[in-house]
Amino acid sequence: AAMSRKRLQQLVDSLGRSAKHFNKREVECLVKLFDTLVAESSSRFAAVGFDRNMFRDTLHSAFGMTDDMIMDRVFHTFDRDNDSCISAVEWVEGLSVFLRGTLEERIKYCFEVYDLNGDGYISREEMFQMLKNSLLKQPSEEDPDEGIKDLVDIALKKMDYDHDGKLSFTDFEKAVRDENLLLEAFGPCLPDIK
Amino acid sequence: LQGGNPTATVIALCSMRDFNLAQETCQLAIRDIGCLEVLINLLDTEEIKCQIGSLKILKEISQNTLIRHAIADLGGLQIMVKILDSPDKDLKCLAAETIANVARFKRARRTVRQHGGIKRLVGLLECISAGSTGLTPYQAKDTEIARCGALALWSCSKSIKNKEAIRKAGGIPLLGRWLRCSHANILTPVVGTLQECASEPSYRLAIRTEGMIENLVKNLSSEHEELQMHCASAIFKCAEDKETRDLVRQHGGLQPLSVLLGNSENKELLAAVTGAIWKCAISGENVSKFREYKVIEALVGLLTDQPEEVLVNIVGALGECCQEPINRSIIRKCGGIPPLVKLLTGTDQALLVNVTKAVGACATEPENMMIIDRLDGVRLLWSLLKNPNPDVQASAAWAICPCIENAKDAGEMVRSFVGGLELIVNLLKSKNKEVLASVCAAITNIAKDEENLAVITDHGVVPLLSKLANTNNDKLRRHLAEAISHCCMWGSNRVTFGETKAVAPLVLYLKSNDPSVHRATAQALYQLSEEPNNCITMHENGVVKLLLAMVGSTDETLQEAAAGCIANIRRLALATEKAKYG
């Protein structure tokens, strides 16, 4: 069931304040979009919000994303209360950073995406996981894993400022501020410019 | 880089930048392992992050000459030009900056033009804020894009065809608009480009008419020496035109130029400043201002110990300042004559031309002439007549004239140069019109001394002068006629001039439009007409009608000479009649 007008108004008002990068009209549009997409889906959470699959479909159709693992992590970042469901509030606030975040906001966002186990560090193993499929050509004799391990070493060498073998948020932030291209170092998790 | 997807490639590209890309061994290693091809291939993809990462590396390593050539050979320039169309601002900037580095040799500059690069680079200069002039662009990013575009245009503008292409693409008004902003980092490449292009008259005209002189003058007072230098350089080139010289003065440009003479450490800056002063000094009003600002003294102070590029300009400036008689004394009073005379012993042709001119200008003051003579200056000038460069020969000969005019015992002095008279007479065999005119002028002065006139007659000056008579060049005609009239005053020279067929051509000179030619010719004809055979020749060539017109001239010398000549012809005619009919 769609929200009542009054409830919608209240929602839009509060989101207008918390999602800083959208104005009220834009928030209203996003909420309406949310309602439309939710109504279209067949999930049992339909009344409440996006589930994982629906969200992945949306990411794919609207933003051209294809990497399952990354999309999963994006879902996790949007889903603040960790209830495996994205509410309208989480939707709008997440999109605020996703579409229009400042560099600082996006650094935080990407780090959260890449920190697979949420322990505050991007570990070697996590990097390996994310970069697993990133080498397209391999000389046949060589163990394909070797190439990925080399790549992980290169990334660590570049970004691990405190030399503790893993990337803390401070490491990551510093690296990205030094070289903006590294923001999505471990996979595209922000919308493409195209 | 080769085997990865864009994510892996970006990581690799970023890491590569941690190598010391400024070091040659590193740059060449990149080339030798075939990495350059990979980097350029990455440019050809649609992956913006890869393109950016690759360009960041290429920009660094293209500081190396060998790498630049390699990038051009691999077709990198064409791709970079295409990238200039991208909507991504960072990408555009990087592409332009890399083009700026690579386009430092001729073939690369041509390639950029042939692939539409100039048009696109000029496009980068377009302000988003369209509209009235004088507005500072409101976005730092747009300034950055324009700055990178200007850098690339600067490199490209070293080729003449590119200068033309920039103009055709509407680059000049855009450069002019950016000239009005106040950020040195974009001003420098903009002025650099303008100054480079100012060798073309079309640019000089545009710089003047688009009001750019005012901004160039303003930036002479910038804190940035490189910017000051380019402004001075631009003024140096543009001041060939009188209107520009006036504009520089009107916008108060002469004072900052004078002040900059104090910075003698930066040689490039000093060369540009002294050059600007030199050309501005071609206008007399500017010379007066320079005198107020004590430029003469400053220039004399710089006459020693400077590189040749600077000396040429300093001496050129001093020469022009001598237009004002008082400056000739100032030069003497601050000890400028000895260093100038010393420079006559140098070998740089451009410098010698300027030095001889300056020394000649100084020699018009008898007090200066005493010093020049004492320092053996005239002998040095005379030996420059042996210099293989005709510009030097001519300039030396011109300078010799006032020396002879103003020296004490000039005749004696000239005679003292062993082989000197023979040398100068033989220069009448030169093919260069300026040399001929100047030598004739010198001979006019030499011939005022009877003994010397006898000597040059012996050296065959008369037939040599006659040989030159058939000319349309007014400058030569004038000095030749003067020389002839003075050389008539010895022995049978008048007869010889007639025999060597000098007379008839001279009559034709009277048809010129130049009053100084009329005067010199009339005097020559008057002298020649003392010899009857010459009268007959002149009369046969219709001289009387031409001279009659000149008898009414306001120039008294011309009147007298014309009348005297006609009188001689008439006298001969009457005598002939009397002899015939009794």
| pLDDT tens digits, B163-200 | 999 999 999 999 999 998 888 889 999 999 999 999 99
E strands, B3-118, where? none
Nearest to B8 among A135, A182, A184 (CB): A135
| Better-predicted residue by pLDDT, B106 or B577 | B106
Q: Tell whether B122 is covered by a domain.
A: yes
| Domain-located, residue A48 | yes
Number of domains in chain A: 2
The tokens for B532 are 């009857």
What residues of A are in contact with residue B8 (Cβ under 8 Å)? 131, 134-135, 151
Same domain? A96 vs A11: yes
- What local confidence, expressed as pLDDT, does residue A48 receive? 66
Say which residues have a Cβ less than 8 Å from residue B314's Cβ, sequence separation at least 6. B274, B278, B299, B302, B303, B306
Distance from the Cα of A32 to chain B's closest Cα (Å) equals 31
Does A191 map to a domain?
no
The verdict on residue A51 lying in a domain is: yes
Which tens digit of pLDDT belongs to each residue from A25-65? 888 888 888 888 877 766 555 556 778 888 888 888 888 88
Name the nearest CA neighbour of A118 among A169, A156, A184. A169
Measuring CA to CA, how many Å separate B381 from each of B221, B372, B500?
Answer: 40, 10, 31
Q: Are residues A118 and A84 in the same domain?
A: no
- Alpha-carbon span A2 to B441, nearest angstrom: 106
pLDDT digit string (tens) for B286-308? 999 999 999 999 999 999 889 99
- What number is the average pLDDT over the span B222-230? 95
**Segments forming the whole domain that contains residue A9:** 5-101
Both A92 and A178 in one domain: the answer is no
Separation between Cα atoms, residue B235 and residue B143, nearest integer Å: 25
Half-sphere exposure (CA, 13 Å, Cβ side) for A53? 7
pLDDT at position B534, please?
94
Query: Cα distance from A74 to chain B (closest Cα, Å)?
Result: 17
8 Å CB contact of B18 and A188: no
Q: Is residue A187 part of a domain?
A: no
- A67, A86, A101 - which closes a domain: A101
- Contacts of residue B306, defined as CB under 8 A and 6 or more positions apart, other chains included, come to B264, B267, B270, B314
Closest CA to B258 of B225, B299, B223: B299
The CA distance from B253 to B273, in Å, is 11
Asked if residue A177 has pLDDT above 90, the reply is yes
pLDDT band of B59, cuts 50, 70, 90: very high
Q: Which two tokens stand for residue A108?
A: 């935080």
Out of A134, A157, A185, the one facing B4 most closely (by C-beta) is A134
**Of the candidates A138, A185, A193, which has its C-beta nearest B48's C-beta?**
A193
Which of A85, A101, A117 marks a domain boundary? A101
Closest of B70, B72, B40 to residue B55, by C-alpha = B40
A36 and A117 together in one domain: no
Sorted by sequence, the CB contacts under 8 Å of residue B260 that are 6+ apart come out as B220, B228, B232, B269, B270, B273
Q: Do B8 and A184 touch (CB under 8 A)?
A: no
Same domain? A75 vs A129:
no
- In this predicted model, which residue has the larger pLDDT, B34 or B132? B34
pLDDT surpassing 70 at residue B135 = no
CA distance A7 to B162: 66
Q: Are residues A59 and A142 in the same domain?
A: no
Residues B244-259 pLDDT 10s? 999 999 999 999 999 9
**Quick check: B138 pLDDT over 60?**
no
Domain that holds residue B154: 1-127+140-169
CB contact under 8 A, B10 and A181: yes
Cα separation, B459 vs B449, whole angstroms: 15
- Quick one: pLDDT at residue A10? 80
Q: How does pLDDT run across B66-108, given as a tens digit for each residue?
A: 999 999 999 999 999 999 999 999 999 999 999 999 999 999 9
Contact status, residue B333 vs residue B364, Cβ threshold 8 Å: no
- pLDDT for residue B4 is more than 90: no
B105 or B1, higher pLDDT: B105
> pTM, whole model, 2 decimals?
0.85
* pLDDT for position B283: 96
In CATH, what number is assigned to the domain containing residue B81?
1.25.10.10
Report helix angle B308-321 to B325-333, nearest 10: 130
Are residue A64 and residue A146 in the same domain, yes or no? no
Residue linked to tokens 């400077």: B306
Which tops the pLDDT comparison, B408 or B432? B432
What's residue B256's pLDDT? 96
Q: What is the pLDDT of residue A8?
A: 77
Same domain for A96 and A122?
A: no
Other Cβ atoms closer than 10 A to B451 = 11
What is the crossing angle of helices B366-374 and B390-406, to 10°? Answer: 120
Q: For chain B, what is the domain count? A: 1
Does the residue A192 lie in any domain? no
Residue A34: inside a domain: yes
CATH number at residue A146: 1.10.238.10
The last residue of one of the domains, among A101, A116, A133, is A101
Interface probe with A: pick from B11, B38, B94, most Cβ of A within 10 Å: B11
Name which of B7, B47, B91 to mutate to probe chain A: the one with the most chain A Cβ atoms within 10 A of its Cβ. Answer: B7
A157 plus A120 within the same structural domain: yes
